[in-house]
């Protein structure tokens, strides 16, 4: 009965809906439509495939799950879409703004057939600039047109935006030269336009404008396919050779794949006009984004610096209000939690660029000053004016190139060969082709030079302005058919790096001794007769490699060119050109640019031009890319003297001028410089070339007059427009004796888009969520001091960041998605690792600063950091934590401490003796690389455990500190509390960091006792080079010495300085740094034989005695609780140091694997230098192994980064920086005094000399027993000095820092967080270190007391 009633009700409802739809075309009340649309949208969303963020970073089981490497799906998504019909488009847009109203909008729109449009808008200091261009792009795998390029660096994680060209000043119509270099980095994960939809706004949209019956499942007509990502643009801009300015812009990148709608009405019955509104308040970092059409809002979100983003659910104005010339003054929107009031100031600027308007806005967002940008795409994508005349700044507009592009676009028949491939007039297998038989270039057949000459020959046929010498091209097909290339590949593959030159010579010898010449001589002879007739000609035979004159490589001057060749000798010279492809110079050039040793080559044969003068011309300044300045270099005679730099040529600059940016430009002579020409190269009657001296008249005159210079400039500009793909070109020219101008070669200027030092330094940088982020190296500076290698930043740092994100989630109990696309907690700036203070330390807050937060400061910094202003920023970002959430966090922290022992047992079992069996892995680069990729997960697994133990150590110490404080506010804490904390924390045995200096001291002692007399030890070990010293102790006749060395390496051989950097070899792999430290230690042992040394404390008081010795009088409850916590405090310190050792051990195995990979890559000629491996990311190494098209650029960048390393390591920074991080001036003045106060971490008092040491190398030279060490911070590399020191003072560090832990273990007085101590004190000064009070004070002592025994100067 019940089922029958339910069935009747459902059938009645359905029947009613059908009846209403039949009568009205709709289903009636909006509430029903909204309900059904909401259900339909949720179901539609679920059905959409997940195309990005396919990781499992929360509970990973493989390296892929972690998400530190882009997955294959994301790499594919980021590539340009291979368009298959005229109706498809691929649109890519970047935009951003800053607090000062500066903004940038860049868009590249790709159509079928290679047609590409670019739109660029820049607002800088109130001046607006823009450019719009269209043309044919030869690259279907890049977002590029002319000198505007979006370059992928790492999928979903980093893009490069580059422009070098002309912009129009929108204020006065003049043209300027602009160079724009931006690196774009994300703040968050990408958002799929189809899957991550805003259900509320879309439901409203469909309810108000949709015809329900016919469009229920047709949501794709509303939602353009693609994705978006919030991020920042960091880079530089230079206008007209002016000062380079740095910008940091916040905004989005938008990727859209769409179909061009041939009708005006969209499927929901309204014109499809789109708008994008973005606004941000610089004072709090909060932003919003709204997307709509004139039919309604379809997307919107609020963006917070804490990465907690919410969908906008309601907007009080329709998008139509923002499509008018006048904008609304006020509007509001609501998200899931609150409403936001936006005020738009009336002083906005609008710039129309084709079918898009860019509106720069000044806003007030909930009472805070902000900036915004409004993008309005008006009308339909396809308009009748799409191929109208370009508003350009060049002399001549493109003709046949654009005509072909338009034809390909509008023709219903697809081009032969598919998108981007133009029809060829010859067959690929042709062995020789004539210049006049080709329609378009094919570099794979004719090589770079040959393809360019074929185009020039075709262009010169329609021109009376210049000529191109007759000729033909011996294609790569003939090259491949006459040479055993597979055998050559095997020869190079089997040759060692040291044998490379010999292999090159053997290959060249085989080519020259082969029968190739006899095979081709008759064929080439026939072509010479057909091309040049029976006239006696002298020919130029020029190599034309397939890698020459490309977008990544020029290969200029790498292969042979022969001039004045007689017809009967051409075949032999062709073979000589082939052989020149394998000269050591040419092969190394390719290998150094990520290309294979064996490549392919065509050869060009041309009639020689009897030149009275010749040279080169650049259609833009080759140094800056300034298109207003053409540069001509020339000399009398043949151009060989200019291109080979055998003379100081004449230089003439041509200036492009115009009345305004829309008028045709004219050329005029600019600066002229007479070269110091002493000789020229001429062609003799016998066909040979010779270098002859200049006449006095020639030396004192320019090789060409002004008219010829202007003619050359106009010809070059025409060539640029016809063949340059909107890029400036470099041409070689010759002035014939009869006055005719010949163009000998043309290629794009490839050097303009080289990465700048700024980009190389900041490539690995993380995006700053705001310009007032608080960043510190207080903790990270100990483990990774100085610059970290790019390889380590791409692996180790990302693992640490995800590990901290994981621990943050565990503490809060909220399953916030881990973001693998950007560093959220560990930030990179200028290749240094930092902590984001606001996101790591101050996410759980009270209304007032509480003692637990100050305790956290002491653990990390060694001094108080949180003040009222920083607390206000943290509250603004994260809000005040409610009591229930605090209890939840406390519970989770307690559970973390409770679970730590089980976790420690697990990680010890797996990683205490971890190794990668490299000897069992196939000696193959790809196999080794894949093994490393798989084993990265192991590094993450132990890294996550170490992050957990660091939390446990910090929490237990914080509990102890708060117990000792007994409710007193942080302002009331005195030195007694700090001394008591150091006592509590010092009761910890077998700490890994403290065992290393002890073991090393014992090794030094064994050497001193068994190595012979003091003189013998000094002569044979201490005073020898580290390598000789190592050989001496490792082969010493007293077996106890080499056996002790072996034992040390088995126990601590995986450690080293900056030990988490994959570039730093462990002591086991490279013992030289270790032996250097050991020599210093043995030297002091021999020099100060009667001095006492420190050692780890062996007699610890029991818990009751320890608590009774504290200065703080504890209540019974507090005493019992502290006694309960003591084992957890000890275990926390021990576990943290132990897991760090496991982390370093696992990392050392990866280091050895990377070292093996580097060796194999050098052996396989994939790397010219094994050190370069560490200056690439892990992903880039994989690309190099796959011979990715970007390989030349990857290697070039790595070489330059390696050169930049020493300078970057010299940079100095304050402990905490605000916003964009810049190095400080080393000459910064510091207020000097007689004493400093810092945080005591190990009690004791000592009077001794201070030694200020900024490096371990410096310490090895000047540290003596009993000295007080003052340094920036310590890591494991400083361990050998602890047994002989009298005290320690560090500028960095906290309660759990390396120096603090080891000092407590050795009972050394130690203070940390002593800012500017290395500047206030000087080596050799005497001072009293009173760690009980936390002071270091200068004193004057008599000369008799300058050297005091360590045992005498320790005062308790």
Splitting the chain (1356 residues) into consecutive groups of 10 residues, what average pLDDT does each group show? 67 62 55 77 85 86 92 92 89 94 94 92 93 86 92 95 93 90 95 89 79 57 85 95 91 87 42 81 90 87 86 92 90 91 89 87 93 81 32 33 37 33 44 74 84 86 83 91 90 82 91 88 90 83 81 64 89 93 88 84 91 92 91 89 82 80 72 88 76 85 92 91 83 91 89 92 92 86 86 94 87 79 91 89 82 77 82 86 86 88 92 90 91 95 92 84 77 74 66 77 87 87 90 90 91 89 93 88 76 60 76 82 83 87 94 95 89 95 90 91 92 87 70 78 87 85 88 80 87 78 81 86 90 86 45 36
Burial label, 71 (beta-carbon count in 10 A; 0-12, 13-18, 19+): middle
Rounded Cα gap, residues 1133 and 1140, in angstroms: 11
Q: How many residues does the chain have?
A: 1356
What is the pLDDT, as a whole number, of residue 593? 78
H/E/C letters for each residue in 648-685?
Answer: CCEEEEEEEECCCCCCCCEEEEEEEECCCCCEEEEECC
The whole-angstrom distance between residue 794's C-alpha and the CA centroid of its chain comes to 9
The whole-angstrom separation of Cα 24 and Cα 18 is: 10
Q: Which of 144, 155, 148 is nearest to 186 (CA)?
A: 155
Predicted pLDDT of residue 3: 65
1132 CB contacts (<8 Å, ≥6 apart)?
A: 897, 900, 949, 952, 953, 954, 955, 956, 957
Distance CA 288, CA 312 (A): 9
Contact 675, 648 (CB under 8 A): yes
Report how far apart, in Å, the C-alpha atoms of 407 and of each of 399, 401, 423, 812 are: 12, 10, 13, 61
Tokens representing 435?
């210049």
- In this prediction the pTM is 0.87
Strand-strand pairing, 1326-1330 and 1335-1339: antiparallel
Q: Which helix (H) or strand (E) holds 133?
A: strand 127-136
The answer to whether 1004 and 1081 have CB atoms below 8 angstroms apart is: yes
Q: Are 106 and 112 in contact (CB under 8 A)?
A: no
The CA distance from 167 to 239, in Å, is 9
Read off φ and ψ for residue 541, nearest 5 degrees. Answer: -110, 115
Token pair, residue 135, equals 């043309």
> What confidence score (pLDDT) does residue 699 get?
86
Residue 41 contacts residue 200 (beta carbons within 8 Å)? no
Burial class of 1344 by CB neighbour count within 10 A (0 to 12, 13 to 18, 19+): exposed
* Closest C-alpha to 662, from 169, 179, 239: 169
In order of 270, 759, 1239, 1244, 1266, the CA distances from 1326 in angstroms are 84, 46, 20, 17, 12
In order of 416, 450, 858, the CA distances from 435 in angstroms are 21, 8, 77
């Amino acid at each position: 009965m019940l089922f029958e009633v339910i069935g009747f009700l459902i059938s009645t409802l359905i029947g009613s809906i059908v009846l209403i739809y039949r009568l009205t075309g709709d289903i009636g009340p909006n509430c029903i439509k909204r309900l059904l649309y909401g259900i339909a949208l949720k179901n539609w969303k679920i059905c959409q495939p997940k195309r990005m963020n396919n990781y499992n970073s929360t509970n990973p089981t493989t390296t892929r799950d972690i998400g530190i490497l882009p997955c294959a799906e994301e790499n594919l998504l980021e590539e340009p879409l291979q368009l298959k019909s005229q109706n498809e488009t691929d649109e890519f847009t970047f935009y951003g703004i800053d607090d000062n109203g500066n903004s940038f909008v860049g868009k590249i729109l790709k159509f079928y057939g290679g047609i590409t449009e670019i739109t660029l808008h820049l607002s800088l200091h109130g001046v607006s600039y823009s450019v719009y261009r269209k043309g044919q792009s030869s690259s279907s795998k890049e977002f590029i047109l002319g000198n505007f390029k979006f370059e992928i660096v790492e999928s979903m994680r980093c893009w490069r935006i580059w422009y070098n060209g002309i912009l129009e000043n929108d204020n006065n119509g003049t043209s300027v030269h602009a160079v724009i270099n931006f690196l774009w980095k994300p703040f968050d994960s990408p958002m799929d336009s189809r899957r991550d939809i805003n259900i509320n706004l879309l439901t409203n949209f469909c309810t108000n404008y949709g015809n329900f019956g016919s469009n229920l499942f047709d949501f794709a007509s509303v939602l353009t396919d693609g994705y978006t990502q919030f991020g920042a643009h960091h880079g530089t801009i230079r206008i007209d050779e002016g000062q380079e300015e740095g910008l940091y812009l916040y905004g989005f990148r938008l990727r859209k794949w769409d179909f061009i709608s041939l009708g005006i009405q969209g499927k929901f019955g309204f014109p499809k006009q789109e708008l994008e509104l973005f606004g941000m308040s610089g004072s709090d970092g909060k932003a919003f984004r709204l997307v709509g059409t004139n039919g309604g809002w379809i997307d919107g979100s609020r963006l917070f610096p804490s990465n907690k983003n919410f969908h906008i659910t309601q907007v009080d104005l329709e998008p139509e209000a923002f499509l008018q010339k006048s904008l609304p003054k006020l509007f509001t929107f609501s998200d899931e939690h609150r409403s936001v009031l936006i005020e738009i100031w009336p002083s906005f600027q609008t710039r129309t660029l084709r079918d898009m308007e860019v509106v720069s806005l000044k806003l007030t967002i909930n009472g805070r000053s902000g900036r915004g940008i409004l993008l309005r795409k008006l009308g339909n994508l396809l308009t009748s004016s799409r191929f109208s005349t370009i508003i350009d700044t060049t002399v001549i507009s493109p003709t046949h190139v654009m005509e072909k592009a338009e034809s390909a676009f509008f023709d219903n028949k697809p081009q032969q060969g598919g998108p981007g491939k133009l029809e060829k007039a010859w067959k690929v297998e042709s062995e020789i082709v004539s210049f006049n038989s080709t329609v378009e270039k094919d570099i794979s057949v004719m090589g770079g030079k040959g393809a360019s000459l074929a185009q020039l020959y075709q262009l010169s046929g329609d021109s009376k302005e210049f000529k191109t010498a007759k000729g033909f091209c011996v294609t790569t097909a003939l090259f491949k058919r006459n040479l055993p290339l597979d055998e050559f590949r095997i020869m190079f593959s089997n040759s060692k790096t040291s044998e490379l030159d010999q292999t090159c010579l053997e290959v060249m010898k085989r080519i020259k001794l082969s029968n190739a010449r006899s095979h081709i001589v008759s064929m080439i002879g026939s072509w010479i007769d057909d091309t040049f007739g029976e006239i006696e000609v002298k020919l130029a035979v020029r190599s034309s490699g397939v890698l020459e004159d490309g977008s990544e490589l020029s290969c200029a001057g790498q292969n042979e060119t022969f001039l004045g060749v007689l017809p009967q000798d051409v075949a032999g010279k062709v073979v000589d050109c082939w052989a020149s492809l394998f000269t050591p110079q040419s092969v190394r050039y390719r290998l150094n640019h990520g290309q294979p040793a064996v490549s392919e080559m065509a050869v060009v044969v041309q009639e020689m031009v009897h030149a009275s003068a010749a040279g080169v011309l650049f259609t833009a300044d080759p140094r800056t890319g300034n298109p207003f300045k053409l540069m001509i270099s020339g000399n009398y005679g043949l151009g060989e003297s200019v291109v080979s730099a055998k003379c100081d040529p004449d230089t003439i600059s041509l200036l492009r001028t115009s009345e305004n940016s829309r008028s045709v430009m004219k050329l005029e002579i600019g600066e002229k410089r007479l070269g110091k020409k002493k000789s020229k190269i001429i062609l003799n009657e016998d066909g040979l070339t010779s270098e002859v001296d200049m006449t006095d008249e020639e030396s004192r005159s320019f090789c060409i007059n002004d008219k010829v210079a202007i003619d050359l400039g106009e010809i070059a500009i025409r060539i640029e427009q016809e063949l340059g793909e909107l890029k400036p070109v470099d041409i070689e020219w010759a002035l014939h004796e009869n006055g005719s101008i010949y163009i000998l070669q043309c290629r794009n200027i490839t050097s303009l888009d080289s990465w700048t030092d700024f980009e190389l330094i900041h490539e690995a940088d993380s995006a700053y969520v705001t310009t007032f982020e608080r960043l510190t190296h207080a903790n990270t500076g100990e483990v990774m001091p100085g610059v970290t290698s790019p390889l380590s930043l791409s692996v180790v740092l990302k693992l640490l960041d995800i590990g901290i994100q994981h621990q943050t989630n565990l503490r809060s109990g909220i399953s916030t998605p881990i973001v693998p696309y950007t560093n959220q907690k560990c930030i990179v700036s200028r290749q240094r690792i930092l902590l984001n203070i606001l996101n790591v330390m101050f996410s759980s807050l009270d209304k007032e600063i509480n003692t637990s937060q100050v305790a956290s400061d002491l653990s990390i910094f060694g001094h108080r950091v949180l003040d009222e202003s920083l607390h206000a920023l943290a509250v603004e970002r994260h809000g005040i934590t409610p009591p229930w959430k605090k209890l939840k966090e406390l519970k989770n922290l307690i559970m973390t401490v409770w679970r730590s022992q089980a976790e420690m047992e697990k990680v010890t079992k797996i990683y205490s003796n971890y190794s990668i069996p490299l000897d069992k892995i196939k000696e193959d680069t790809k196999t080794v690389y894949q093994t490393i990729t798989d084993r990265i997960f192991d590094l993450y697994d132990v890294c996550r455990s170490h992050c957990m133990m660091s939390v446990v150590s910090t929490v237990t110490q914080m509990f102890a500190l708060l117990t000792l404080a007994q409710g007193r506010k942080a302002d009331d804490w005195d030195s007694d509390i700090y001394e008591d904390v150091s006592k509590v924390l010092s009761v910890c045995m077998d700490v890994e960091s403290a065992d290393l200096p002890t073991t090393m001291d014992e090794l030094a002692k064994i050497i001193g006792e068994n190595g012979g007399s003091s003189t013998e030890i000094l002569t044979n070990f201490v005073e020898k080079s580290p390598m000789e010293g190592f050989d001496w102790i490792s082969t010493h006749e007293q077996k106890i010495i080499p056996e002790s060395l072996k034992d040390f390496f088995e126990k601590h051989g995986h450690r080293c300085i900056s030990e988490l950097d994959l570039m730093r070899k462990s002591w086991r792999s490279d013992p030289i740094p270790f032996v250097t430290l050991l020599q210093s230690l043995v030297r002091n042992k021999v020099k100060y034989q009667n001095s006492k040394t420190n050692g780890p404390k062996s007699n610890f008081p029991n818990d009751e005695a320890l608590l009774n010795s504290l200065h703080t009088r504890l209540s019974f409850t507090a005493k019992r609780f502290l006694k309960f916590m003591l084992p957890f405090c000890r275990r926390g310190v021990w576990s943290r140091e132990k897991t760090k050792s496991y982390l370093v051990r696992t990392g050392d195995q990866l280091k050895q694997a990377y070292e093996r990979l580097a060796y194999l890559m050098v052996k396989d000629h994939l790397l010219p230098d094994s050190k370069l491996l560490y200056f690439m990311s892990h992903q880039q190494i994989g690309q190099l192994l796959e011979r990715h098209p970007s390989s030349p650029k990857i290697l070039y960048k790595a070489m330059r980064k390696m050169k930049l390393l020493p300078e970057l390591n010299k940079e100095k920074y304050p402990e905490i920086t605000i916003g964009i991080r810049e190095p400080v001036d080393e000459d910064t003045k510091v207020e000097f005094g007689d004493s400093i106060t810092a945080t005591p971490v190990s009690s004791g008092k000592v009077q001794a000399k201070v030694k200020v040491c900024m490096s371990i190398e410096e310490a090895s030279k000047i540290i003596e027993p009993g000295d007080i060490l003052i340094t920036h911070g310590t890591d494991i590399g400083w361990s050998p000095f602890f047994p002989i020191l009298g005290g320690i003072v560090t500028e960095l560090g906290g309660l759990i820092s390396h120096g603090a832990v080891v000092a407590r273990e050795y009972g050394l007085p130690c203070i940390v967080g002593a800012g500017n101590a290395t500047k206030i004190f000087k080596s050799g000064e005497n001072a009293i270190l009173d760690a009980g009070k936390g002071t270091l004070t200068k004193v004057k002592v008599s000369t008799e007391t300058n050297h005091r025994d360590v045992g005498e100067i320790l005062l308790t």
